[in-house]
Amino acid sequence: MNGLLNVGLSTAVTGTVASFVTAAILALLAKAEGKSALQPTNATSHWLHGGKAGAVRKADLAHTAVGFGTHHASAMFWAAPFEAWLARNPQRSPLPMLRDASAVAMIAAVVDYLVVPKRLTPGWETVLSKRSIAATYVALALGLAAGGLIAQAMRKTD
Full domain range(s) for residue 63: 3-157
Quote the number of domains for the chain.
1
According to the model, what pLDDT value does residue 158 have?
Answer: 57
pTM of the model: 0.94
According to the model, what pLDDT value does residue 7 have?
Answer: 86
According to the model, what pLDDT value does residue 3 have?
Answer: 74
Q: Which of 25, 21, 19, 71 is nearest to 44 (CA)?
A: 71
How do the pLDDT tens digits run along the chain, 158 residues long?
A: 477 788 889 999 999 999 999 999 999 999 999 999 999 999 999 999 999 999 999 999 999 999 999 999 999 999 999 999 998 877 779 999 999 999 999 999 999 999 999 999 999 999 999 999 999 999 999 999 999 999 998 877 65
User: What would the DSSP string read from start to end of 4-57?
Assistant: HHHHHHHHHHHHHHHHHHHHHHHHHHHHHTTS-TTHHHHHTTHHHH-GGGGG--
